[in-house]
């Protein structure tokens, strides 16, 4: 228990520092990006092959920074009433083209009498983007992803994301929330850590069940109204 608390504290400090640095890197990055874009647009640029790579890699840095910026707590966190069925369906639309291409079937079913929670919209979107992205990356073509929303009781909502993808080994399960832990060639290893942080910030819980070559089921439990809700809009 003691070790976990220290570990969590270390992560929090590292996350806040990284978020601060990410903000600072963003500005010079914007300048570099705009000049590289200009170079790429230049007809007679003899280095187009190289500047195109620069642009791609800048995009990748930008992706990593975006994942970090979520860790930077805005000064006022605004929580509002959110319908999770609508929010998750909206997030699904973002992945529509990719799922279409790969013939992935995704469904969002709500058996919740009330799928509303008080939460920060941006954070909730980021959470379900991260989790759905992992499921999409875990399944083969024609894979199946199912999201189920249900009321656990009057105070908690369960959102379960199930995929029939590659699944996780014991080792992956143990390390999945560690920053930078990834089994993917181009992974950042930040998605699950950030998801866990968002869930913790909302007073929720995450539970993973996974079997290799069978699939993964991730259950997120969120309080309908977080007890530590500082601002209610
Ligand atoms: P990334 O996706 O960049 O690798 P994440 O933090 O999102 O980083 O995930 C960490 C690792 O957890 C992944 O590399 C993968 O091995 C494992 N993982 C997460 N979600 C799933 C899933 N739905 N199915 C199988 N493995 C998963
Ligand atoms: Mg991920």
Query: What is the pLDDT confidence band of residue 187, given thresholds at 50, 70 and 90?
Result: confident
- The protein residue with its alpha carbon nearest to ligand 1, atom 18, reads 134
230: buried, middle or exposed (CB in 10 Å: 19+, 13-18, 0-12)? exposed
Higher pLDDT, 120 or 232: 120
Q: What is the mean pLDDT of residues 190-202?
A: 90
Higher pLDDT, 8 or 104: 104
Sign of the four-CA dihedral 205, 209, 210, 216? negative
**Could you tell me which residues are beta bridge partners of residue 158?**
150, 221
How confident is the prediction for the chain on average, in pLDDT?
88
pLDDT(232) > 50: no
Res 8: pLDDT = 66
- The protein residue with its alpha carbon nearest to ligand 1, atom 3, reads 187
| Entry pTM | 0.81
Higher pLDDT, 207 or 17: 207
Query: What is the pLDDT confidence band of residue 76, given thresholds at 50, 70 and 90?
Result: low
Tell me the two tokens of residue 188.
């950042």
Mutate to test the pocket of ligand 1, among 11, 130, 134 (most ligand atoms within 8 A of CB): 134
pLDDT tens for 143-178 read 999 999 999 999 999 999 999 999 999 999 999 998
Query: What is the pLDDT confidence band of residue 59, given thresholds at 50, 70 and 90?
Result: confident
Res 171: pLDDT = 96
Q: What is the mean pLDDT of residues 89-111?
A: 94
What is the distance in A from the centroid of ligand 1 to the CA of 7?
21
pLDDT(128) > 70: yes
Higher pLDDT, 50 or 20: 50
Tell me the two tokens of residue 10.
């270390």
pLDDT tens for 1-43 read 445 677 767 766 776 777 778 778 888 999 999 999 999 999 8
Q: What is the mean pLDDT of residues 92-109?
A: 95
Res 212: pLDDT = 98
| Interface predicted TM-score of the whole assembly (ipTM), two decimals | 0.99
Res 1: pLDDT = 44
191 lines ligand 1 (CB under 6 A): yes
The rounded distance, in Å, linking the Cα atoms of 141 and 157 is 31
192 lines ligand 1 (CB under 6 A): yes
64 lines ligand 1 (CB under 6 A): no
Res 233: pLDDT = 40
């Amino acid at each position: 228990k003691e070790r976990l608390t220290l570990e969590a504290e270390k992560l929090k400090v590292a996350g806040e520092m990284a978020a601060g640095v990410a903000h600072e890197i963003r500005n010079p990055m914007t300048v570099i990006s705009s000049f590289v874009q200009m170079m790429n647009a230049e007809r007679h640029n003899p280095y187009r092959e190289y500047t195109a790579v620069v642009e791609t890699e800048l995009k990748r840095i930008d992706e990593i920074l975006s994942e970090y910026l979520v860790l930077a707590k805005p000064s006022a966190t605004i929580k509002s009433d959110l319908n999770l069925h609508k929010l998750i369906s909206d997030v699904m639309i973002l992945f529509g083209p990719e799922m279409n291409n790969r013939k992935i079937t995704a469904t969002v079913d709500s058996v919740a009498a009330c799928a509303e929670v008080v939460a920060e919209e941006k954070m909730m979107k980021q959470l379900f983007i991260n989790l759905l992205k992992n499921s999409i990356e875990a399944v083969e073509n024609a894979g199946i992803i199912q999201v189920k929303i249900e009321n656990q009781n009057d105070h908690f909502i369960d959102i379960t994301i199930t995929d029939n993808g590659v699944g996780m080994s014991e080792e992956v399960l143990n390390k999945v929330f560690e920053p930078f832990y990834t089994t993917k060639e181009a992974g950042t290893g930040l998605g699950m850590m950030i998801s866990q942080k968002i869930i913790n910030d909302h007073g929720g819980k995450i539970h993973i069940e996974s079997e290799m070559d069978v699939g993964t089921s991730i259950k997120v439990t969120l309080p309908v109204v977080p007890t530590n809700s500082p601002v209610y809009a």
